[in-house]
Structure 1
Amino acid sequence: MTIHYISEQQLFHLESKDSSYIIQLVKSAYPAHLYWGPRLNPSLFKEQLHRVERGSFSPNFIKEDRTFSFDTLPQEYPSYGTGDYREPAIEVQFQDGSTVMDLKYQHHAIKNGKQSLQGLPSTYVESDLEADTLELHMLDEKSGLKVTLIYSVYNHIDAVTRTVHVENSGEENIILNRILSSSVDFHCSDYDMLQLSGAWARERHLYKRSLVPGIHRIDSKRGSSSHQQNPFLALLSKGASEDNGEVYGFSLVYSGSFLAQAEVDQYGTARVGIGIQPFDFNWTLEPGQSLQAPEAVLVRSGEGLGGMSRIFHRLYRTRLCRGEYRDQARPILINNWEATYFDFNSESIEAISLAGRELGIELFVLDDGWFGKRNHDDCSLGDWIENRHKLPDGLEGLGRKITSTGMKFGLWFEPEMVSPDSDLYRRHPDWCLHVAERNRTVAREQLILDLSRKDVCDYIVDALGKVLSSAPISYVKWDMNRNMTEIGSALLPAHRQRETAHRYMLGLYDVLERITAQFPHILFESCSGGGGRFDPGMLYYMPQTWTSDDTDAVERLKIQYGTSIVYPASAMGAHVSAVPNHQVDRITSIEMRGHVAMSRNFGYELDLTKLSESERSIVMAQNKQYKELRGLIQFGDFYRLLSPFEGNETAWMFVSENKQEAFAAYFKVLSEPNAPLRRLKFKGLDPSKVYRLIETGDIYGGDTLIHYGLPLGDLKGDFQSQLFVFQEVL
């Protein structure tokens, strides 16, 4: 059992692999955060929460004890209205208009295993021996609002998951205005905060800042996790680096609008909260009704950012991603989008596919433009019927021709969208998100279907099911190319309109659960204009995500490096595209483009029929090498060596779990005149093992590779790269 209750001290001691998370009941009623750090011996931990009396501006909730104030108490789940002036985790409004509540501990339960969440994605266990769960049952006696704080602790992974379940056991309606999934009060604020921010084609860049008094907030109000911010933040102890120092990571398993923030108060403590975006949100709980919050994943590492990342990678790759492809090597693919855009026919598609097969590529993906009257992005979304003018033999005929050569066949969809110029919209103009008598804002000439409605969800499942059953399809790219506006539903009453965005997410998750269960042999890849919905919620249904629409090799260094802070390589799609690059107009060598892309799930996005003989030879060699390395790349431990955010160079590497194999890639962006000689030091290897560098056959000790490294080649010119493959000498 990894959760202990010490009744004499009213302490809950949660133990993960190398960490302890300790909660104390203050006044036998209020769960307070006592400790989160390196693992402690539960039998020897005797500390109590230290409290002192502050000024009158930190009011005392209990007259007899002036040291007790919610304004200073490090709470596990703070509410609003009784003297805590920091940001609450939960805020409600009662029938009389008041917003004050007093949540008190009632009882608790400690259980083996970890339960799934109703209607929401979450991490999981395959055996009850993998984790234990603590439930703290709280009650606001006056209203009958029950709040259950749920903690699950993995035995062999330094991760604690948190979620909240609320239920109205009273006799009057209760309105939830805020329900965060997790709140942690740190006992100091001497930290730096790390976030992953950007824009379309520039996703998940690293930004770090020191905490100072006030609120440091990242969020999305877009109806999706967004390109602009990722539902993640981390606190780093001062001086923490890639390999050293205390790091605390917070990640939300949710794909909609979110809030993540760190607040520093007047006494130098920091409160971190993460959950559903409270802006433009409320939820009415009628008597007997309940609501489940999404799951937050909390990871601590004493081995810097790299240690934190590898914990997230392992957890998300093995206990968040599901299905047949979770542990299977992902195929090398060719996607026709940047090769043809909408201008294609059966002959051009078959030619690209055949060229791919000759080069060792394993999967052809037909992107946008195969359905309805779709020759531009201004029509036909929602009409999932093949275009027989482009594909005379239909998807079934095209798929059979492609698969007959040994290639697999994949297809692009954008199921959550509808074009105003579509048969679906003409039949059901009320099926999109909209507000009556208000303008319907379009983006990319499309509107968003109202997935808070069961009839709309059923239509999507039925329409896609028919297509996926009609042809030999083994891969689906699931796209979503705009954010929400006019967030309203024709079916919801006035007092529930602000529930629309979250109900949409519940509808989407229901659709994804049904579709992926119906077609378990299909590899699904999530996409939202690239990385606009790269979040743990989507990974639960689709084990990989198109990392960014920006396929430029130089830009991808930062994008893929930043994404690796939380997400494993097996979750990232990366392609070699044509030059000049279609996003930034840069020309890079096909060697560097290949080396960047093969560091993740590998593929191509260009017209293979236009390659020169020299390029064909390089591509064939890339595919051969990737097939030899992909098990290591997709499922090995990942180490960041040099950061593109700190200089002209980038390097990263993958090491097998048994330390017998390793693959490293080095990249130089711009040439330097008379540059100093450089060595690359490696990580993750066993210093006691002996390794052969495959490229040269030379033998090195693991300790030498770690501490002394290898000289980098004389790489002349801009945009250069170098690979290193190591195998243990047995």
Structure 2
Amino acid sequence: MEFIKNKDKVFLLNTQKSSYMLMVNEYGHIEQLHYGRLVQLEDADALRYKRTMPYGSQVMYTPEDQIYCLDNVPLNWSGIGKGDFRIPPAELIMPDGSFTCDFLYESFEIFQGTLAAKGLPCAYAEKEDEAQTLVLHLKEKIYDIRLRLIYTVFHDTNVITRRAEIENGESKPLNIRRMMSMLIDLPNRDFKMVTFDGDWIREANRSDRKLMPGCFVNESSTGASSNRHNPGVLLASENTSEDFGEAYGFNLIYSGNHYTAAELCPRGMVRVISGINPLCFSWTLEKGGIFETPEAVLTYSAEGFNGMSRNFHDFINAHIVSGEWKGKERPVLINNWESNFFDFSRRSLLRLARRAKELGVELFVLDDGWFGARNNDRAGLGDYDVNLKKLPGGISSLAKEITSMGLMFGLWFEPECVNEDSELYRAHPEYAVRHPNRPHSLGRNQLVLNLTMPEVRDYIVENVGKVLDSAEISYVKWDMNRHMSDMFSESC
């Protein structure tokens, strides 16, 4: 099925209930014509933002045109240094040390299905006819630096995903200080920005803020998407309710530091950018190197917040969730943590499992404390040899007895962290993320392991894999108990 149409450098991306329209203008910039209710290609001229007079203090893109100013144009990508003073999607230090960049259209491609990134998770389509992908090829005006803007239409779930790839063709390195996954400029419809904020044990509390002139930011700098600020952000008209009114949803398929900003601009447009948090970010791209951004997820609903929620739910179930449990109800589980904490025995676990089975529980999960000298949270993390004092016969014997009751068996891990009081840390203190000349900071008495080191990755895969292969384990609880600090590595 054709979800993407093009004519005279106008591109129309249609889902079941929404249209996303772009055009390449006379200067080679990508203009955003529309994102909202269904429209036709023939509507392009009517939807285009009309420029009839210059504004005072604006910077003209070219001396030959006294009206065309990038600061006034609804764009789908932009740069720095050519008159667009709104929040930029990219900050690049060029080979000559300058920051000015100006990416212009060269060509396009349309693919059936998805075009997955090589190094990052992306949405997928089980069948090619479920999705269609547009790639816009842009080139920096002066330098041999190429940008690919990638849009995938998931028609039936009313979602469009976006990501970007930048390639350095110059002989000198390109330094990337900021590289967003997406940018979109929208006309302001009395928007409010909805975020989901919180902290430990009080996550995802809804916050509504009416957009006022300036920039509103939703971000995490903890090293994870975090319990503080969920990467999901909504824009909705002031009168939008659960079932009526317009709503836009933005999210990222990314679990690291994220950044989404909504800027209410001086002339009534709202710019939204989303991607990797630029705080402390720096990436050196050598000649021939390609940098990929995470995939951003966009959806539009004219049926209020419920309509937008349905879009996200349908998309995640169809194009993110995969494997054996896709489309199935998950088993009811019991976790032993609140019953025992670290103080358990094989006997107490089996007693809990039998009682849980009587109550209709289907999955038993053994939490923290089953390995090494793990009798509290100050020791043992990183050592994945089973504590045979607590579990005579090991994980295999326990799992066998629990599965014989008709329960599935699950196990707790936190493989990205380590205690200083552990065999792993005593043997390899260099495996931890820490600055060599500073006293380090702990969270839950833990340090974070440096996953940029191949030997660290090998250690985790080998030792966690050995445990998983040793027993009938149906479920893994992968815990995360501290944020990153003391960021430093000589391996990247």
TM-score range, shorter chain: over 0.9
- Kindly report which structure 2 residues correspond to 1:302-701, keeping only aligned pairs within 5 A, or say none: 302-492=302-492
Q: Which residue does 2:18 correspond to in 1?
A: 19
- Kindly report which structure 2 residues correspond to 1:42-441, keeping only aligned pairs within 5 A, or say none: 42-43=41-42, 45-47=44-46, 48-188=48-188, 190-441=190-441
In 1, Cα distance between equivalents of 2:210 and 2:166 = 35
Cα offset, 1:261, TM superposition: 1.1
Q: Which residue does 2:40 correspond to in 1?
A: 41
Per-residue CA deviation, residues 382-418 of structure 1 (Å, 9 max, x unaligned), is 1011101101111111111111111111110111101
In 2, Cα distance between equivalents of 1:233 and 1:359 = 39
In 2, Cα distance between equivalents of 1:43 and 1:105 = 22
Q: Secondary structure at the match of 1:486?
A: coil
2:3 corresponds to 1:2: yes
Q: State the identity %.
A: 40
Q: Which residue does 1:653 correspond to in 2?
A: none
Q: Secondary structure at the match of 2:72?
A: coil
Segments of structure 1 that go 5 or more residues without pairing to the other structure are: 493-730
Query: Kindly tell me: are residues 44 and 186 of structure 1, through their superposed partners in 2, closer, same or farther at Cα, counting changes over 3 Å?
Result: closer
Per-residue CA deviation, residues 180-227 of structure 1 (Å, 9 max, x unaligned), is 101110122521111011111110011111111001111011000011
Indicate if the aligned counterparts of 1:185 and 1:272 stay in contact, CA closer than 8 A. yes
In 1, Cα distance between equivalents of 2:43 and 2:97 = 48
Indicate if the aligned counterparts of 1:430 and 1:490 stay in contact, CA closer than 8 A. no
Cα offset, 1:299, TM superposition: 0.4
Q: Secondary structure at the match of 1:202?
A: coil
Q: Secondary structure at the match of 1:267?
A: coil
In 1, Cα distance between equivalents of 2:221 and 2:365 = 32
Letter in 1 for 2:12: H
Which stretch shows the higher mean deviation, 36-45 or 72-81?
36-45
In 1, Cα distance between equivalents of 2:266 and 2:360 = 62
Q: Secondary structure at the match of 2:156?
A: coil
Indicate if the aligned counterparts of 1:159 and 1:300 stay in contact, CA closer than 8 A. yes
In 1, Cα distance between equivalents of 2:207 and 2:93 = 36
Cα offset, 1:265, TM superposition: 1.2
In 2, Cα distance between equivalents of 1:44 and 1:77 = 22
In 1, Cα distance between equivalents of 2:127 and 2:480 = 35
Indicate if the aligned counterparts of 1:104 and 1:139 stay in contact, CA closer than 8 A. yes
Indicate if the aligned counterparts of 2:10 and 2:44 stay in contact, CA closer than 8 A. no
In 1, Cα distance between equivalents of 2:50 and 2:377 = 62
Indicate if the aligned counterparts of 2:49 and 2:74 stay in contact, CA closer than 8 A. no
Per-residue CA deviation, residues 419-475 of structure 1 (Å, 9 max, x unaligned), is 111111111111111222112211111000111122211211111110001111111
Indicate if the aligned counterparts of 2:10 and 2:41 stay in contact, CA closer than 8 A. no
Letter in 1 for 2:231: P
Query: Kindly tell me: are residues 162 and 107 of structure 1, through their superposed partners in 2, closer, same or farther at Cα, counting changes over 3 Å?
Result: same
Cα offset, 1:358, TM superposition: 1.8
In 1, Cα distance between equivalents of 2:395 and 2:416 = 21
Indicate if the aligned counterparts of 2:189 and 2:237 stay in contact, CA closer than 8 A. no
Q: Secondary structure at the match of 1:463?
A: helix
TM-score calculated relative to the size of structure 2: 0.98
Query: Kindly tell me: are residues 67 and 202 of structure 1, through their superposed partners in 2, closer, same or farther at Cα, counting changes over 3 Å?
Result: same
In 2, Cα distance between equivalents of 1:388 and 1:163 = 48
Letter in 2 for 1:229: H
Per-residue CA deviation, residues 273-323 of structure 1 (Å, 9 max, x unaligned), is 110000100100000001110000000000000000010001011210111
Per-residue CA deviation, residues 257-279 of structure 1 (Å, 9 max, x unaligned), is 01011001111211011100001
In 2, Cα distance between equivalents of 1:448 and 1:54 = 54
Cα offset, 1:328, TM superposition: 2.3
Cα offset, 1:245, TM superposition: 0.3
Cα offset, 1:45, TM superposition: 4.5
* Structure that is richer in helix per residue: 1
In 1, Cα distance between equivalents of 2:412 and 2:150 = 38
In 2, Cα distance between equivalents of 1:157 and 1:365 = 34
Q: Which residue does 1:620 correspond to in 2?
A: none
Q: Secondary structure at the match of 1:467?
A: helix
Letter in 2 for 1:261: A
Which stretch shows the higher mean deviation, 172-181 or 428-437?
428-437
Indicate if the aligned counterparts of 1:221 and 1:279 stay in contact, CA closer than 8 A. yes
Letter in 1 for 2:18: S
Q: Secondary structure at the match of 2:204?
A: strand
Cα offset, 1:49, TM superposition: 3.3
Indicate if the aligned counterparts of 1:92 and 1:177 stay in contact, CA closer than 8 A. yes
In 1, Cα distance between equivalents of 2:162 and 2:321 = 18
Indicate if the aligned counterparts of 2:157 and 2:312 stay in contact, CA closer than 8 A. no
Per-residue CA deviation, residues 78-119 of structure 1 (Å, 9 max, x unaligned), is 111111111100110023221011111111111211122112
**RMSD across aligned C-alpha pairs, in angstroms?**
1.2
Cα offset, 1:43, TM superposition: 4.1
Cα offset, 1:143, TM superposition: 2.1
In 1, Cα distance between equivalents of 2:199 and 2:43 = 49
Per-residue CA deviation, residues 335-362 of structure 1 (Å, 9 max, x unaligned), is 1000010110111001001111122211
Query: Kindly tell me: are residues 371 and 365 of structure 1, through their superposed partners in 2, closer, same or farther at Cα, counting changes over 3 Å?
Result: same
Q: Which residue does 1:649 correspond to in 2?
A: none
Cα offset, 1:28, TM superposition: 4.6
In 2, Cα distance between equivalents of 1:323 and 1:380 = 32
Runs of 4+ in 1 over 3 A off after TM superposition: 43-46
Matched length: 490
Which stretch shows the higher mean deviation, 382-391 or 402-411?
402-411
In 1, Cα distance between equivalents of 2:189 and 2:437 = 49
In 1, Cα distance between equivalents of 2:424 and 2:490 = 16
Indicate if the aligned counterparts of 1:213 and 1:268 stay in contact, CA closer than 8 A. no
In 2, Cα distance between equivalents of 1:450 and 1:185 = 38
Indicate if the aligned counterparts of 1:249 and 1:300 stay in contact, CA closer than 8 A. yes
Per-residue CA deviation, residues 148-192 of structure 1 (Å, 9 max, x unaligned), is 000111221211100000100111110001001011101225211
Segments of structure 2 that go 5 or more residues without pairing to the other structure are: none
Q: Secondary structure at the match of 1:230?
A: coil
Per-residue CA deviation, residues 671-706 of structure 1 (Å, 9 max, x unaligned), is xxxxxxxxxxxxxxxxxxxxxxxxxxxxxxxxxxxx
In 1, Cα distance between equivalents of 2:141 and 2:79 = 14
Q: Which residue does 1:590 correspond to in 2?
A: none
Indicate if the aligned counterparts of 1:197 and 1:227 stay in contact, CA closer than 8 A. yes
